[in-house]
Structure formats: C-alpha cells, structure tokens
A and B are shown apart, each in its own frame.
Chain A
Amino acid sequence: MIRSVPRSRWFNGLYLAYLVAFFLYLALPLVVTAAFAFNDAPFPSLPWKGATLDWFIADGSEGRTGFFHDSGLLAALWVSVKIAFWVTLVSVALGCGNAVLFERLDFRGKEFLYLLLLLPLVIPGVILGVSILVFYSGMANEVARAWAVELDLFRPGTPLVVMGQVSFITTLSTLVIAARLRKFNPQLEEAALNLGATPLVAWFTVTLPWLLPAIFGAAAMAFLMSFENFNTTVMLTGSDTPLTVALFNRLREGSTPVLNAAALVLMVASALLAALVLRRGSGSNA
C-alpha cells in the first residue's frame, strides 16, 4: 500500500513484476512497428532480412517506393497538416473565450451552458461525424435541388472534417485553459488595474502571459488529436483524404513496410511536438 505501511516481500515482488509487464505491454506494439520499418523484406513480418532505409527513401526505381517518395501518402500528409492547423487555430481561440466565459463571468444559465460545453465528451466520435454529415451535406443536397446552387463547402471534404473535429476538440482545449485560469489569482489583475492599467491592458500584460503555457499545451493537444483522429474524420472526408484515412485504406489492401515507415515518422513527429511542449511547460513553471 503506501510506503509507511509494511508490505510483504512477496507482494512487493509481484507488484514490481506487474509494473514491468504493464510497461512492456505499453511499449511492445510501438517498438515492433518501428522496428519493421527497417526490415529489408516486402512484408512487415519475421524473419528479419537485414536493415534497410528503402521504406523511407527508395524512389520507386527498383520496385520499392519509400514513404518520402510516395506521392499519395505525402499528399494525404499535407491534407492532415492543413486540417490540423485550422482545427488548432479555431478550437484554441474558442477555448480561450470559453475559459474566460465560464471561469470569470457570472450569468444566468451558466450551469446549464457548462453542461452543454461538456456534452461533446459524452457523444461517440462517429456520431459527431455522422450528425454533421447529415446536417451540412443534407443542407447542400436540399439547396442544390431547390435552387441548383452547389454548396461545395458543405460536401464531404476538408472544411467538413475541420468542423467535425472542432466540435469536440474545442471542449478539450477549453478544459485545459480553464484549469490554468482557475489557478490564476485575480488579485494580480486587480494590482495591475491599481497600478494604472486599463482592463484590456491588464488582461494582455498579466493574465494572458499566465495562460500562455496552457494555451501552448492546448494547441499541441489539439494538433495531435486532429492529426490522429479517425472516427469523426472518416465520416466526413471527401476525395482529399487525410493521412490516417489514407493509411487505413492502404492497410485494408494489405500491409507493407511503407506503412511502418509512415507510422514511425508520425510517432517521431508527435514525440518532438510533445517534447517541445513539455519543455516549455517545465520551463515556465520553474
């Protein structure tokens, strides 16, 4: 149990073994995926045929096309980046506003609106995608039928994916920023006002810098969640598929080490992004 309560040697040993097993379970699939990106064989399975970088850099001249020359996957990667950029921008901006709204202002019906804010957390991702598809794509169909006007914006495609992801990522970014704002001492803002700042200046010089770590954290989280999202995205994507959907389609055709290479690139990129945020976070807390 806790350190100050005696435990038997047996129990300690078992506990430790359990923890080791747990972290092995956690690491195994990722390590294996990464390792097979370097296997010099057309399928990501044993036996090990030696190491190669073909699955990253081969240009297709010898029958192998590496990830960095795979125009389909690269295009999908670009689509993912675009989507993630817009989702991050919109959901963090909304998150800042919502956080201030719920932490600093008082108004009638606040409790109810707060429950609405949490609502997307208890709606399965697929349903969020489906409902947006039904509403907007259906609207585009109606408009096309009634007035023969094409609303391409509301057809399945990048804009609809962005809307679908914003619908729930906004809740998460709001919660991250609100948690930090809750720890803010309002007296600091009052001190700024007392020293002659206008409310707007006080906000930008005192409150916003305090929130910055949370805003960066929320942005990184939003970017990763958007980049990795599948359940909502798959319902709303059009011809320009983002990377996770493109990889999924490839995977259904059969796995090749190119998928492993793509997966490894994704992992490294996410890890770098996360490390960057953690570094910033620890730096500003010190």
Chain B
Amino acid sequence: MRSTGKLSLWLLLTPFALWIVLLVLLPHVQMLRVSFQVRESWDTLAFGVEQYRNFFTESYYWRTFLRTGVMSLFTTLITLLIAFPVAWYIARLARGRAKGWLFLACLVPFWASELVRTYGWMILLRESGLFSAALQGLGWVDGPVEMLYNDVAVIVGLVYNGLLFMVVPLVTTLEGMDDNLVEAGYDLGGGHVTVMREIVVPWAMPGIVSGCIVVFMLTLGSYLTPILMGGKDSAWFTGQIFTQFITRFNWEQGAALGVLLLVLSSLIVWLGLKLTGQSLRKVMG
C-alpha cells in the first residue's frame, strides 16, 4: 500500500510539475532575465538596468503605468458597487426558478467573447451609433455625438467585462450566509446600514476579495477594450508591452515593462489580501 501510494504521488506530481515549471515558472524567470539584458551589438548582451531606466525617465511609460493601475482599481470598485445589489437579490431575495433564471442571465453575456462584447459597445457608443441616434431622435442634441474613444467608454466596457466575475463569487458567499445572522443583527437593534456594515460585509469578505482580485487582474491585463474603445490619450500599459514586442521587436524593453506590470499586479493583490486579512488560498481555492 505504501509503495503504491508513493507511485501514485509521483505519477500525479510529474505532470503538475512539468506544467507549472515549463509553462509558468521558467518563462517568467526568463522574462526577468531578458529584462536585465542590454544589447551592446547584434550578438552581444550585457547585464544592465537600461530598460528600467528608460521606464522611469520617459514620462510616457510611467504615466501610462500609473493611469492603468488607477483606472483598474477604479473599475474594480465600480464593478463591486454595481454587482453587490444584484448578487444580494439573486442570493437572498429571489426564490425558486426566478433565482436560477436571473443567475443564468448574468452568465449569458459571457458566452460571447470579449471581442464581441466590446464590438457591441462600439456599435452603441460611436458617433454613428445607437445612443447618438437615440439622443438626436429625442431632440436633445443637434448633431451626432461621439461617446466612444474616451476614458468613460473604456470604463463602461471594462466594468461590463468584469461583472460576471464579481457576481459569481458574491452570490456564492452570500448564499452561504444564514438568514438568522441578519435577523439577529436587526433583533439586537441594528438598522439597515449597521447590519450591512457589521454583519453582511464581513461575512461576504472572502467573496468580495476574490471577485475584486479577478476583476482587477482582468482589467489590468486587458488589451482589447482599452485599445478599441479608448481614445488617443487613453493608452493602456498592455498596449505598450504589445508595441515593444510585436511592432518594435524590442523584447528587452517589452520584458522589462512586463515585469513591472507583474510587480504592480502582485503588489496590489498582496496589499488587498493583507488589508482585508484574507489569504489567497481562502479566496481563490
């Protein structure tokens, strides 16, 4: 029995190790290495921090970097605020069939790809789009209105992309809450706001954190939506990484930007977990 235990452990551990080492760990180590390589001539490389110096000296890089970070946090917050009442309704107020249908309705948009969803918003928001036509039809505006290609449009699109990933973990944690907890909150004299703040939110914290992490990661790493819906001034950091790799073929610079983005995302996720007292295992596993 002992030997078969050992054998099955190795049989299962090997594919896991191959996957995590070959597809996740090694590539990231290599990316880190490349980001510190400076090309001296076409075939000689030296260690150096030139790429990182570029990042800090060229304001275009770090401004976009900060913008991307701040807008991602903002998008995550908005998504949470929009999703919470919906998740609450599905988890606690809807009953029987209605509950199933509403939950399904939240999933439906995500059977379409991010590209399709973004395309839908473009058709709605652009100058020749539906909203513009509707406003003209109502006589509120005289000519076509361009609502695409600005930061608000980008956030609308990003929030839309993140909603599902916020609603699902929220519904899951809120469903696990006993109605009696909320009733006890009122019974002991609490009002709506108190019960929400002191009982519901602490209870739902694992779901809130899990949803926020996923939405934040999706938003920060998003490429399509900011590129297609953003204007000339609304550059996204992933766009710059793409440019370095695919257009300029400057892998060293691209790798450095990639490392920086990874550091930013890890830092914010880590901070979020620390501030809320949650662990990655608890909220994601």
Contact = CB atoms under 8 A, between A and B. Distances in A.
Judged by CB atoms under 8 Å, the answer to whether A and B touch is yes
A130 B228 CA distance: 21
Nearest to B121: A29
Contacts of B188: none
B34 A138 contact: yes
Interface stretch (B13-21, B47-55, B57-65): B13-21
Interface residues of B, number: 89
Given A132-B27, A228-B113, A36 B258 contact: no
B121 A119 contact: no
A199 B5 CA distance: 11
A127 B183 contact: no
B275 interface: no
B119 A26 contact: no
Contacts, number: 255
Contacts of A113: 16, 20
Contacts of A22: 82, 86
A266 interface: yes
Q: Which of B34, B133, B262 has the most A CB atoms < 10 Å from its CB?
A: B262
Main DSSP-derived SS at the B contact region = helix
B96 interface: no
A66 B172 CA distance: 43
B222 interface: yes
A123 B130 CA distance: 36
B116 A175 contact: no
A215 B122 CA distance: 36
Nearest to B246: A235
A271 interface: yes
Given A122-B266, A127-B262, A133-B245, A267 B224 contact: no
Interface of A: 1-5, 15, 18-19, 22-23, 25-30, 32-33, 36, 43-46, 93-94, 97-98, 100-101, 105, 107, 111, 113-128, 130-136, 138, 145, 163-164, 166-167, 170, 175, 178, 199, 224, 227-231, 234-235, 244, 247-248, 251, 255, 259-260, 263, 266-267, 270-271, 273-274, 278
